[in-house]
Chains A and B, each alone.
Chain A
Amino acid sequence: MARQLVASPVMLCSVAFLLIVVAFAIAPGFFAPHDPEAQSLTRRLLPPLANVGDTTYWLGTDSLGRDMLSRVIFGARISVIVALAGVVLSGAVGVVIGVVSGYYGGLIDDFFGWLVNVQLSFPFLLLAVAVAAVLGPGLRNIIIVLAVTTWVSYSRVMRGQVLTIRDSEYVQAARVIGASDRRLLAKHVLPNTYIPLIVIVTFEVARLIIAEASLSFLGLGTAGLASWGTLMADGRAHLATSWWIATMPGIAIMITVLAINLIGDWLRDVLDPRFQRR
């Protein structure tokens, strides 16, 4: 697999870009040229590549004269946390529920099926406001809201996968031999589900970053800490005159999502023998 990775320059670029984003997230202070909150009203709304004195503002400045490059670098931290924690949390919940309801069926399946339908028939905003009200706003609670609204995709797909695998001949055979449920799941069922899982994860990472932006737009976002989504939502009023304020974090989101998608596609192609390009 490593050999295949090296052989693909597109893949190398994608992986490299994601590593950079992760590095930004881990040590933004090391990479950012300025304090992301430092305001300078004499340097407001500078376009990208503007030179003032001995400083170059690569991505321009915002309405308070804050350096956009530094803000984007610091924004990576929140966006990465939201995306990773959201995927892990919703993925874990969704996978467990999907596998359990697919494998055991019956009442358990009916119950979770009901839960999925209740969840989907329900406006996500209401949930967001209620969580913000009950738990207070903040990063942790935003992650909870997002996880609660995205676990369904995992659960649906996993359930379908498990259903097909459960009835396959080799699992039936293993059962006849007397394998326990847990062993069956761990050794035979789960390993056959990771391909669709990778596809969903690549989708969901993008969706989480966007959903967090939407929460910011609705005024329910992360307070104080500006994620890429928050930067976009806050910068939207400037679109007409100073396009870069909302667009630069938007481009950061787009390249990240592109990289994740490319890696996801590539992984699937490599892992699934049917897709081998010959």
Chain B
Amino acid sequence: MLEQQNVNRRQLLVYGAAVGAALPMVLSTSAPAFAAQDGSETSVITVGQGVEPETLDIQQTDVGSTRNVAGLILQPLVSWNYNTGELEGVLAERWSSVDDLTWEVNLRPGVQYTNGEPLNAEGVKFAIERFLTATHPFASRLAKLELTVTPVDETTVQLTTNAPYPFVMLDATRIPIVPPGYLGEVGDSEFALNPVGTGPYTLREWIAGDRVVLEKSESYWGEGYAFDEVVYRVVPEAASRTAALQTGEVDAISSVSLLDFETIDGDPNLDAIAVVSNRSMFIRFDCEDPRLSDVRVRQAFNHAVDKDLLVSALLLGNGEVLDGQPIGRQIVGHNDELEAYPYDPDLARQLLEEAGFDFDEPLTMFGTVGRYTADQDITQAVAGMLGEVGVQIEVQPLEWGVWLTRYRDGTLTPLTFVGIHTSVPDAFTLLDTHSSASIGGKFKNPDFDAIMNEAASTIEPDARIELYNQASQLLRDEAGLLFLYQQYDIYAANHEVEGIDFRPDDAIDLVQAAPAS
């Protein structure tokens, strides 16, 4: 039915400790050239994305495309460096754990917001407290932990939670520090349209539905960001994004369709860049469903699906098979000991027989439409592979909004195709999704729940990773999921620009970006 294919004509960015310390950076091999610094010419980079920002107040949203735009204006205390696998300071210079409940953060001195307000401890307190009541997805859990900010002196704050919480600093990578004076002046609604921050760029204009134009701030405290202007344009249709890249209307694009790979490949002025994403794809079992409650049945399903073939044939090589855990290799907490269930349809049939599986009753498998790369093809193919070992699957694809409502209602049973993404590079979310307390958790394993419960409050990283390893081992042994793959996000850029860093968390980092020399 399907045949294997080797994928070679592709540049691939791989991140993470598992791959090694020296990481290839396709677009930033040469030092950035600051070509247009003499003032004679304005250097502009134009980036095409599929979705327009709904707001530039990124305390209210965690949508990747929005963060890319507003992240050039508003900055967090710290950010995660996927190349080194470590946190690095942005507005914070140093941070240290005081005790299980408290972090002390020293702010970078002398930083000003672009409106001239100074960055200080009181401002950070204001910003984080505002975040706790915002609509950002992280807000409610931090609010529940009663995260409090205590200014110690002008440039030092203490962050305290009411219970041990290991992810204070990781979550802080998503908390933009907003200026209290300006916000008090203009209010939330105006701030969403015209934010002011400490970042390298300021907003020049935002034409609804069309573009956001940012210009370099004269007073930026940091280095990098060679372009005088950054323009983010909205180009919803993937084929049109590729066309706009070809005509030079934009210099870089995100969410390149798999099928456009060849077009871009065939153009000597363009590069396609595949980035391992923080999203893991799998089929979720409802382990309490009587037909799936036997571990042998779930193992059989895992053996019946040829993951390598899915990736090579349907993703055209743009993915990596999960090694028996829903955790990508670039994520802290990846379990190096585990291996994928090998493709073995005979063993699958045998296991199903042993478990007394009822081959006559079809199982429903829910899927998404256009939400994930090649999602409809993948669900069809998985159903076909299960069909080969005698399991009848009825595929039911759902529109994304409907799928989500039913996911939360718990009615996507017994099987659903799903991708779980973590915004911070830690395995916790990827595993905890499957604990019984979680809204999507259908693994229903008390041991697993207990381990994750403990991990949730274990501050010491090595101890926590050990717990993650136990949990992922259990999840694999019990075949709590039908493990599939990690997909690659595909970006493309022309040769006018260099040094753009496309990250696994949907972010486009322009710190090293510069006009091509």
Q: Which of A38, A137, A224, A237 contacts B1 (CB 8 A)?
A: A38
Contacting pair B313 A132 (CB below 8 A): no
Contacting pair B266 A133 (CB below 8 A): no
Q: Which of A224-278 contact B (CB under 8 A)?
A: 224, 236-242
1/0 contact trace for A118-137 toward B, CB 8 Å? 00000000000100110011
- Is B3 on the interface with A (CB-CB < 8 A)? yes
- Is A42 on the interface with B (CB-CB < 8 A)? yes
Contacting pair A237 B398 (CB below 8 A): no
A224 to B365, CA, bound (A): 13
Chain A interface residue count, Cβ-Cβ cutoff 8 angstroms = 25
- Is B281 on the interface with A (CB-CB < 8 A)? no
Contacting pair A137 B312 (CB below 8 A): no
Contacting pair B369 A64 (CB below 8 A): no
- The minimal Cβ–Cβ distance linking A251 to chain B, given in whole angstroms, is 20
1/0 contact trace for B235-279 toward A, CB 8 Å? 000110011001000000000010110110010000000000000
- Is A29 on the interface with B (CB-CB < 8 A)? no
- The minimal Cβ–Cβ distance linking B364 to chain A, given in whole angstroms, is 11
Select from chain B the residue with minimum beta-carbon distance to A237.
B259
Contacting pair B239 A237 (CB below 8 A): yes
Q: Which of A33-54 contact B (CB under 8 A)?
A: 38-42, 45
- Is A220 on the interface with B (CB-CB < 8 A)? yes
- The minimal Cβ–Cβ distance linking B327 to chain A, given in whole angstroms, is 29
Contacting pair B4 A41 (CB below 8 A): yes
Q: Which of A65, A137, A241 contacts B398 (CB 8 A)?
A: A137
Question: Cβ of B246: which chain A residues have Cβ within 8 Å of it?
Answer: 240
Select from chain B the residue with minimum beta-carbon distance to A129.
B399
Contacting pair A133 B399 (CB below 8 A): yes
- Is B370 on the interface with A (CB-CB < 8 A)? yes
Q: Which of B142-196 contact A (CB under 8 A)?
A: none
A42 to B259, CA, bound (A): 16
Q: Which of B393-414 contact A (CB under 8 A)?
A: 395-399, 401-402
Select from chain B the residue with minimum beta-carbon distance to A240.
B263
Question: Cβ of B433: which chain A residues have Cβ within 8 Å of it?
Answer: none
Question: Cβ of B260: which chain A residues have Cβ within 8 Å of it?
Answer: 237
- The minimal Cβ–Cβ distance linking A112 to chain B, given in whole angstroms, is 31
A64 to B376, CA, bound (A): 14
Q: Which of B404-454 contact A (CB under 8 A)?
A: none
- The minimal Cβ–Cβ distance linking A276 to chain B, given in whole angstroms, is 49
Q: Which of A45, A137, A236, A237 contacts B369 (CB 8 A)?
A: A137
Q: A219-B370, A237-B257 are in contact. Are A41 and B5 (CB under 8 A)?
A: yes
Question: Cβ of A64: which chain B residues have Cβ within 8 Å of it?
Answer: 313-314
Contacting pair A238 B399 (CB below 8 A): no
Contacting pair A223 B259 (CB below 8 A): no
Select from chain A the residue with minimum beta-carbon distance to B238.
A237
Question: Cβ of B1: which chain A residues have Cβ within 8 Å of it?
Answer: 38-39
Q: How large is the interface on B (under 10, 10 to 19, 20 to 34, 35 or more residues)?
A: 20 to 34
Contacting pair A133 B401 (CB below 8 A): yes
Select from chain A the residue with minimum beta-carbon distance to B267.
A240
- Is B2 on the interface with A (CB-CB < 8 A)? yes
- The minimal Cβ–Cβ distance linking A78 to chain B, given in whole angstroms, is 15
Question: Cβ of A193: which chain B residues have Cβ within 8 Å of it?
Answer: none
Q: A39-B3, A41-B312, A236-B239 are in contact. Are A241 and B263 (CB under 8 A)?
A: yes
A63 to B266, CA, bound (A): 15
- The minimal Cβ–Cβ distance linking B373 to chain A, given in whole angstroms, is 12
A236 to B312, CA, bound (A): 22
Question: Cβ of A237: which chain B residues have Cβ within 8 Å of it?
Answer: 238-239, 242, 257, 259-260
Contacting pair A219 B3 (CB below 8 A): no
- Is B380 on the interface with A (CB-CB < 8 A)? yes
Contacting pair A223 B369 (CB below 8 A): yes
Contacting pair B399 A223 (CB below 8 A): no
Contacting pair A224 B399 (CB below 8 A): no
Question: Cβ of B380: which chain A residues have Cβ within 8 Å of it?
Answer: 224
Question: Cβ of A40: which chain B residues have Cβ within 8 Å of it?
Answer: 3
Q: A39-B313, A132-B402, A237-B239 are in contact. Are A63 and B259 (CB under 8 A)?
A: yes
- The minimal Cβ–Cβ distance linking A129 to chain B, given in whole angstroms, is 7
Question: Cβ of B266: which chain A residues have Cβ within 8 Å of it?
Answer: 241
Q: Which of B1-53 contact A (CB under 8 A)?
A: 1-5
Q: Which of A38, A39, A223, A242 contacts B376 (CB 8 A)?
A: A223
A102 to B395, CA, bound (A): 46
- The minimal Cβ–Cβ distance linking B409 to chain A, given in whole angstroms, is 13
A133 to B404, CA, bound (A): 11
A5 to B246, CA, bound (A): 51
- The minimal Cβ–Cβ distance linking A103 to chain B, given in whole angstroms, is 41
Select from chain A the residue with minimum beta-carbon distance to B265.
A241
1/0 contact trace for B74-102 toward A, CB 8 Å? 00000000000000000000000000000
Contacting pair B313 A136 (CB below 8 A): no
- The minimal Cβ–Cβ distance linking A263 to chain B, given in whole angstroms, is 35
Q: A39-B1, A41-B5, A64-B313 are in contact. Are A224 and B395 (CB under 8 A)?
A: yes
Q: Which of B4, B259, B314, B395 contacts A238 (CB 8 A)?
A: B259
Contacting pair A220 B399 (CB below 8 A): yes
A8 to B243, CA, bound (A): 46
Question: Cβ of A132: which chain B residues have Cβ within 8 Å of it?
Answer: 399, 402
Contacting pair A42 B3 (CB below 8 A): yes
Question: Cβ of A39: which chain B residues have Cβ within 8 Å of it?
Answer: 1-3, 313
A153 to B183, CA, bound (A): 54
Q: Which of B283-338 contact A (CB under 8 A)?
A: 312-314, 316
A133 to B239, CA, bound (A): 27
A224 to B376, CA, bound (A): 8
- The minimal Cβ–Cβ distance linking B242 to chain A, given in whole angstroms, is 8
A133 to B402, CA, bound (A): 6
A41 to B3, CA, bound (A): 6
Question: Cβ of A223: which chain B residues have Cβ within 8 Å of it?
Answer: 369, 376, 395, 397
Select from chain B the residue with minimum beta-carbon distance to A42.
B3
A7 to B3, CA, bound (A): 53
- The minimal Cβ–Cβ distance linking A101 to chain B, given in whole angstroms, is 34
Contacting pair A241 B369 (CB below 8 A): no
Question: Cβ of B263: which chain A residues have Cβ within 8 Å of it?
Answer: 240-241
A223 to B380, CA, bound (A): 10
A161 to B399, CA, bound (A): 41
- The minimal Cβ–Cβ distance linking A31 to chain B, given in whole angstroms, is 22
A251 to B309, CA, bound (A): 33
A64 to B397, CA, bound (A): 21
Q: Which of A12-70 contact B (CB under 8 A)?
A: 38-42, 45, 63-65
Question: Cβ of B243: which chain A residues have Cβ within 8 Å of it?
Answer: 240
A39 to B314, CA, bound (A): 10
Chain A CB within 10 A, most for which of B266, B313, B370, B380? B313
- The minimal Cβ–Cβ distance linking A226 to chain B, given in whole angstroms, is 10
- The minimal Cβ–Cβ distance linking A250 to chain B, given in whole angstroms, is 15
A63 to B263, CA, bound (A): 12
A238 to B257, CA, bound (A): 10
Q: List 12 A-B contacts (CB under 8 A).
A: A41-B2, A41-B3, A42-B3, A63-B259, A64-B313, A132-B402, A136-B396, A224-B397, A237-B257, A239-B239, A240-B242, A241-B263
| Other 5 A-B pairs with CB < 8 A, given A136-B396, A237-B259, A240-B242 | A39-B3, A41-B2, A41-B312, A63-B316, A241-B262
Query: Top 4 closest A-B pairs, CB basis?
Result: A237-B259, A219-B370, A41-B5, A223-B397
